[in-house]
């Protein structure tokens, strides 16, 4: 019952494709994914409003051993957590392009130890490091169902 | 005591001059991220806080009709916030303190919001219940005394101000949408649609992600023409649900902790429905309700100067190598500590530095 994914660019190389049926399953998938990440990992999350990006990041954080609540950093741009690895969660909802990202000094987080997860990362696709792993979240026609696709490399830019 | 205060934890670059708790000069510049940056070299020139801070400092001093030499203390936000942004205000403040040999205090951003209502000149009786509501925060805090904070509840996902802005964007409003929603919703019928009343249990936490998604689903369900025709109704229904959670938490907080006052602070404290409902709750419980002036609801250096001065006046000193604290819970704070001994260290550092720069 997929509505079909609308890719902003050419179809990326798919490493893994999963369907989650509720937010708990999305959290669980995030945990599994997060527990496999190493220091230096950059994770780009791409999907529309309400797709479950923050929910997936909550799972990734849990997989990295973060015990406290992971909340949306949309207004703070970035929130830091301490897990087995330092974990940074960025949200570029309020940023339009890479120049604004630089204006806030956020590119410094690419070079820090730990894991960096970025929501709305397609807005800075051009400056994401090549090691970026992209997670596409696609809400399906059936409410609460999500298709989640893991791809290697930065997401394709919008526009 | 005359103090110079800096705030640069997120979007706003702000400088304030205060004397004995009274604001004398205050300038805030919000990063206009939506303006074209016009081809500046990103790594150097476009650090907006850095570009603005000197100009804003001069302006705040001019407005206060004070000179830098008249300052008796300096404070700056050390956290929580963005590392790169915090570093600019904190280090600029330290630099001024060092060059003038003034005492310095590293301030907590949220402690500033908690006490921002006292900039009106009123004293808030403790213990009080503070609801901090903004785009980045949704917290219920029990303020036992200055420096003693108990976090009773906070959001598990989105902040309430974030829900306002995202719902506003869904319905075609520009960012930030809080003021526009407040205005448009006043003409709408909140019973047009019933959005879920989330998390109405005994817990004191908040959640706004589900409400945001519920509005999204409803908007997707309707024809664009219907959405347009019922925009005020949808916003009124959203607002009713959003505010109901805040007021439910205030009521539970009052029942459980018996505060002597209520404080609503942060950007969403400017919302007229929240103000009205909080006042009603205060009246019913015979508690005075305090709000900061609407010009001091957003991030600003005035509130940082207010709490910074209290700490400086009590003898607290932060060393000049005090780090930024991107993660910093209110509960880690303590009452101001008289640490004049550390002032000697700062003075030594000051002398060392002058010696080095002269050699």
Q: Give tens-digit pLDDT for B48-80.
A: 888 899 999 999 999 999 999 999 999 999 999
Q: Does B170 touch chain A (CB under 8 A)?
A: yes
Name the residue among B31, B159, B161 with its Cβ closest to that of A103.
B31
Which 3 state secondary structure label does DSSP give A151?
strand
Name the token pair of B326: 């991107």
Rounded to the nearest 5°, which phi and psi values hold at B77?
-65, 125
* B280 and B311 belong to one structural domain: no
User: Which of A89-98, A145-154, B139-148, B342-351 comes out lowest in average pLDDT?
Assistant: B342-351
What is the nearest CA distance from A12 to chain B, expressed in angstroms? 28
* B59 and B138 belong to one structural domain: no
Q: How many helices (H) and strands (E) does chain A have?
A: 3, 7
- Cβ contact B156:A71 at 8 Å: yes
Contact A80 B37 (CB under 8 A): no
Q: Does B47 touch chain A (CB under 8 A)?
A: yes
Chain A CA closest to residue B9:
A76
Confidence (pLDDT) at B39: 36
User: Structure pTM?
Assistant: 0.87
* B146 and B99 belong to one structural domain: no
Q: Does A99 touch chain B (CB under 8 A)?
A: yes
Confidence (pLDDT) at B340: 66
The answer to whether position B38 is within a domain reads yes
* B79 and B33 belong to one structural domain: yes
What is the nearest CA distance from A131 to chain B, expressed in angstroms? 22
Confidence (pLDDT) at B347: 58
Name the residue among B85, B154, B166 with its Cβ closest to that of A105.
B85
The answer to whether position B292 is within a domain reads no
* B264 and B196 belong to one structural domain: yes
Domain boundary (B230, B252, B287) is at B287
Helix axes B231-257, B160-170, angle to 10 degrees: 170
* B87 and B181 belong to one structural domain: no
Confidence (pLDDT) at B256: 96
Element (H, E) at A61: helix A53-63
- Beta-strand runs (E) in chain A: 14-20, 42-46, 78-82, 86-91, 115-119, 133-139, 146-152
* B111 and B217 belong to one structural domain: no
* B223 and B203 belong to one structural domain: yes
User: Which of A80-84, B87-91, B200-204, B245-249 comes out lowest in average pLDDT?
Assistant: B200-204
Considering just the CA atoms, what is the radius of gyration of chain B in Å?
A: 22
Chain B contacts of A72, Cβ < 8 Å? 155, 157-159, 162, 209
Which residues, in sequence order, are CB contacts of B258 under 8 Å at separation 6+?
none
* Percentage of residues of chain B with pLDDT beyond 90: 78
* B68 and B32 belong to one structural domain: yes
Among candidate residues B94, B64, B62, the one with its CA nearest the CA of residue B77: B94
The answer to whether position B293 is within a domain reads no
The answer to whether position B268 is within a domain reads yes
The answer to whether position B131 is within a domain reads yes
Contact A105 B82 (CB under 8 A): yes
Rounded to the nearest 5°, which phi and psi values hold at B24?
-110, -35
Contact B82 A104 (CB under 8 A): yes
Give the CATH number, domain containing residue B215. 3.30.420.40
Domain span at residue B46?
Answer: 2-116+298-358
For residue range B124-153, what is the model confidence (pLDDT) as tens digits? 999 999 999 999 899 999 999 999 999 999
Name the residue among B10, B83, B216 with its Cβ closest to that of A108.
B83
What angle (nearest 5°) sits at the alpha carbon of residue B210, between those of residues A78 and A47?
A: 55
* B252 and B134 belong to one structural domain: yes
Which residues, in sequence order, are CB contacts of A56 under 8 Å at separation 6+?
A26, A27, A29, A30, A45, A135, A137, A148
Chain A CA closest to residue B35:
A100
Task: Classify strands A133-139 and A115-119 as parallel, antiparallel or unpaired.
Answer: unpaired
- Cβ contact B322:B295 at 8 Å: no
* B61 and B209 belong to one structural domain: no
Residue A114 DSSP symbol: S
Chain B contacts of A69, Cβ < 8 Å? 154, 156
Name the residue among B37, B43, B157 with its Cβ closest to that of A72.
B157
Cα A68 from chain centroid (whole Å): 19
Query: Best residue in A59, A87, A105, A137 to probe B by mutation, most B CBs within 10 Å?
Result: A105
Among candidate residues B89, B11, B16, the one with its CA nearest the CA of residue B53: B89
* B10 and B106 belong to one structural domain: yes
The answer to whether position B354 is within a domain reads yes
- Cβ contact B300:B7 at 8 Å: yes
Chain A CA closest to residue B169:
A49
Decide if pLDDT at B166 tops 80: yes
Name the token pair of B124: 């808030």
Q: CA-to-CA distance for B272 and A127, rounded, in angstroms? A: 42
Domain boundary (B253, B287, B321) is at B287
Contact A72 B158 (CB under 8 A): yes
The domain tally of chain B equals: 2
Residue B126's Cβ-count burial label (10 Å; 0-12, 13-18, 19+) is: middle
- Cβ contact B90:B77 at 8 Å: yes
Which domains are present in chain A?
13-152 (3.40.50.300)
Contact B47 A103 (CB under 8 A): yes
**Residue B353 pLDDT grade (very low, low, confident, very high; cuts 50, 70, 90):** low
As for the ipTM of the complex, it is: 0.81
Domain boundary (B287, B317, B341) is at B287
Chain A contacts of B166, Cβ < 8 Å? 49, 74, 93
Contact B154 A71 (CB under 8 A): yes
**Residue B83 pLDDT grade (very low, low, confident, very high; cuts 50, 70, 90):** confident
Pairs of CB atoms within 8 A across A/B:
89
Helix axes B83-100, B48-64, angle to 10 degrees: 40
Q: CA-to-CA distance for B147 and B145, rounded, in angstroms? A: 6
């Amino acid at each position: 019952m997929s509505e079909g994914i609308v890719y902003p660019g050419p179809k990326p190389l798919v490493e893994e494709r999963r369907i989650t049926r509720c937010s708990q399953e999305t959290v669980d998938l995030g945990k599994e994914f997060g527990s496999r990440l190493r220091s230096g990992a950059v994770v780009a999350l791409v999907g529309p409003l309400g797709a479950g990006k923050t929910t997936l990041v909550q799972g990734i954080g849990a997989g990295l051993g973060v015990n406290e609540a992971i909340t949306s950093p949309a207004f703070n741009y970035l929130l830091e957590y301490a897990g087995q690895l330092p974990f940074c969660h960025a949200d570029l909802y309020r940023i339009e392009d890479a120049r604004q990202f630089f204006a806030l000094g956020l590119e410094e987080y690419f070079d820090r130890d730990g894991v960096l997860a970025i929501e709305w990362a397609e807005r800075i696709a051009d400056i994401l490091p090549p090691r970026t792993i992209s997670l596409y979240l696609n809400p399906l026609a059936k409410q609460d169902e999500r298709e989640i696709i893991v791809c290697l490399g930065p997401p394709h830019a919008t526009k | 005591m005359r103090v110079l205060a800096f705030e640069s934890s997120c979007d706003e670059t702000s400088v304030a001059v205060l004397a004995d708790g009274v604001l004398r000069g205050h300038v805030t510049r919000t990063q206009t991220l939506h303006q074209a940056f016009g081809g500046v070299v990103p790594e150097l020139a476009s650090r907006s806080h850095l570009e603005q801070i000197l100009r804003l400092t001069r302006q705040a001093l001019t407005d206060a009709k004070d000179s830098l030499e008249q300052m008796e203390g300096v404070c700056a936000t050390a956290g929580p916030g963005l590392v790169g942004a915090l570093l600019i205000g904190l280090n600029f403040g330290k630099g001024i303190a060092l060059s003038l040999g003034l005492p310095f205090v590293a301030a907590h951003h949220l402690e500033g919001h908690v006490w921002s209502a006292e900039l009106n000149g009123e004293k808030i009786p403790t213990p009080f219940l503070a609801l901090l509501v903004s785009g980045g925060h949704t917290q219920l805090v029990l303020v036992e005394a200055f420096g003693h904070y108990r976090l009773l509840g906070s959001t598990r996902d989105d902040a309430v101000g974030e829900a306002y802005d995202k719902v506003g964007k869904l319905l075609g409003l520009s960012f930030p949408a809080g003021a526009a929603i407040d205005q448009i919703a006043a003409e709408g019928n909140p019973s047009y649609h019933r959005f879920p009343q989330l998390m109405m249990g005994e817990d004191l936490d908040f959640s706004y992600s589900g409400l945001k998604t519920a509005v999204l689903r409803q908007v997707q369900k309707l024809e664009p023409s219907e959405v347009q025709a019922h925009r005020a109704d949808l916003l009124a229904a959203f607002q009713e649900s959003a505010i109901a959670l805040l007021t439910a938490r205030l009521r539970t907080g009052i029942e459980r902790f018996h505060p002597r006052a209520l404080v609503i602070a942060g950007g969403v404290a400017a919302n007229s429905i929240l103000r009205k409902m909080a006042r009603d709750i205060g009246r019913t419980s015979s508690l005075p309700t305090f709000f900061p002036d609407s010009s001091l609801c957003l991030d600003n250096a005035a509130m940082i100067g207010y709490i910074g001065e209290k700490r400086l006046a009590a003898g607290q000193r932060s060393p000049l190598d005090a780090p930024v604290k991107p993660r910093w819970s209110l509960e880690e704070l303590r009452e101001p500590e008289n640490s004049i001994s550390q002032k000697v260290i700062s003075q030594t550092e000051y002398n060392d530095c002058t010696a080095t720069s002269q050699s």
